[in-house]
Amino acid sequence: MTRPVRPIRARMLLAVWAGKLTGALLRLAGRAGTHVPGKVALAVYPGLMSAIPLPPRVVVVTGTNGKTTTTNILADALHNLGVRVGSNRAGSNLREGIIATLMDGLTVLGRSTIDTAILEMDERSARLVLPGLRPDVLVCTNLTRDSIKRNAHPEYIAWIVSSALSDDTTLVLNADDLITARLGTDANRRVFFGVDALGDESRTPHGVAIDVSICPICDHTLVWDVWRFNHIGKVTCPSCGFRSPQADVRALSVDIASGTMDLAMGDTTTTLPLVNDNIVNIYNEVAVAAALTVLGVAVEDIAAQLASLKPPVTRFADETISGVRILRLLTKGLVGVACSRAFEHIPTIPGRKVVLMAIDEASERVTEVENTAWIYDADYEYLADPTIAQIFVGGIRRHDHALRLAIAGVDPTKIVLVESETGAADLVSLDNVDAVFNLHSVHNALISGNPVQDRLRERLLEKVR
On the question of pLDDT at 301 being above 80, the answer is yes
Whether 101 contacts 87, CB under 8 Å: yes
Mean pLDDT within 385-401: 94
Per cent of the chain over pLDDT 90 is 76
pLDDT confidence bin for 1, thresholds 50/70/90: low
Separation in Å, CA 209 to CA 65, 124, 185: 15, 20, 27
Q: What is the pLDDT of residue 363?
A: 67
Mean pLDDT within 288-294: 97
Q: What is the pLDDT of residue 257?
A: 85
> Distance between CA atoms of 4 and 245, rounded to whole angstroms?
33
Mean pLDDT within 260-264: 95
On the question of pLDDT at 96 being above 90, the answer is yes
Determine whether 7 is exposed, middle or buried from the number of CB atoms within 10 Å of its CB (0-12, 13-18, 19+): exposed
Q: What is the pLDDT of residue 220?
A: 96
pTM, to two decimals: 0.89
Domain boundaries, the chain: 10-190, 316-464
CB count within 10 Å of CB 206 equals 10
Least confident of 280-284, 298-302, 320-324, 440-444: 440-444
Mean pLDDT within 407-431: 96
- Most confident region among 148-162, 370-384, 421-435 by mean pLDDT: 421-435
Whether 424 contacts 432, CB under 8 Å: no
- Angle, nearest 10°, between helix axes 95-104 and 126-133? 30
Which CATH entry fits the domain spanning 10-190: 1.10.540.10, 3.30.413.10, 3.40.50.1980, 3.40.1190.10? 3.40.1190.10
> Distance between CA atoms of 153 and 159, rounded to whole angstroms?
10
CB count within 10 Å of CB 296 equals 7
Q: Indicate the average pLDDT of the chain.
A: 92
Mean pLDDT within 116-130: 97
pLDDT confidence bin for 314, thresholds 50/70/90: low
> Distance between CA atoms of 427 and 418, rounded to whole angstroms?
9
Question: Which is nearest to 144 in space by CA: 134, 155, 136, 135?
Answer: 155
On the question of pLDDT at 416 being above 80, the answer is yes
Cα first-last separation, the chain: 60
Backbone angles phi, psi at 21, to 5 degrees: -65, -40
Mean pLDDT within 425-434: 96
pLDDT confidence bin for 276, thresholds 50/70/90: confident
pLDDT confidence bin for 73, thresholds 50/70/90: very high
Secondary-structure breakdown of the chain: helix, strand, coil percentages, each rounded to the nearest 5? 35, 20, 40
Which residues on adjacent β-strands are paired with residue 217?
none
Mean pLDDT within 277-306: 94
On the question of pLDDT at 63 being above 90, the answer is yes
CB count within 10 Å of CB 463 equals 12
Which CATH entry fits the domain spanning 316-464: 2.40.30.10, 3.90.190.20, 3.90.180.10, 3.40.50.300? 3.90.190.20
Per cent of the chain over pLDDT 70 is 97
On the question of pLDDT at 148 being above 80, the answer is no
Q: What is the pLDDT of residues 177-196, one digit of tens each?
A: 999 999 999 999 999 999 99
Q: What is the pLDDT of residue 119?
A: 98
Whether 197 contacts 234, CB under 8 Å: yes
On the question of pLDDT at 256 being above 90, the answer is no
Mean pLDDT within 354-361: 93
Q: What is the pLDDT of residue 46?
A: 96
On the question of pLDDT at 77 being above 80, the answer is yes
Residue 445: DSSP 8-state: I
Whether 15 contacts 45, CB under 8 Å: yes
> Distance between CA atoms of 234 and 227, rounded to whole angstroms?
7
Q: What is the pLDDT of residue 395?
A: 87
pLDDT confidence bin for 332, thresholds 50/70/90: confident
Q: What is the pLDDT of residue 170?
A: 98
